[in-house]
Structure 1
Amino acid sequence: MEDTLSRGQLKLLMCALRLAQGEFLTRESGRRCLYLIDDFASELDDARRGLLASRLKATQSQVFVSAISAEHVIDMSDENSKMFTVEKGKITD
């Protein structure tokens, strides 16, 4: 697949598979998944990042993402969001 898909396409494919697994788990068990995504914005353009953010929000699950810049996760924000910043090993909110 790496010869056919770009890194962004591969990342979206893997996220789509994980989202499908999470939806299946929720449907079968009634429990929601916890999603952890490192470097959320890498390899994704604005449109794809927005699409992934909206799909994650639609799950109504708890989502933890890391990003280089807060602007890269703005699509994830809503009234229930909490953002933390890590600088020089210190966590602030």
Structure 2
Amino acid sequence: MATNLWYICSVCMDNGRLTDADFHCQNCGKYYCDECLSLHNQMYKKHTAHGIYENEKWPGAKGVEELFTQCEEHGGNHIKMFCEDHSQLCCSTCVLIDHR
């Protein structure tokens, strides 16, 4: 059975939750967990969703890179540099406040 290591449900992520995606909709280009796919399928009957067992048909893990490049402390800011003194990744706000 295929495992999901890097795909996050697009709807759940928009609502502040990190839920593994089990499906990718070819038409929407979004990822869905079981619960969100059920709602998606009710609205979009002609869309084609591929399960995790067909992940070779999925595009790259959209949203994951974004998730890993955002500052945890200053949400929305992107990581810009590494502070060697603190061994910490920093955004511009971190540098101004804590890492000058």
**Fold shared, TM-score > 0.5 on shorter chain:** no
- What TM-score, normalized to structure 2? 0.26
Which is higher, the Rg of structure 1 or of structure 2? 2
More helix by share: 1
TM-score relative to the length of structure 1: 0.27
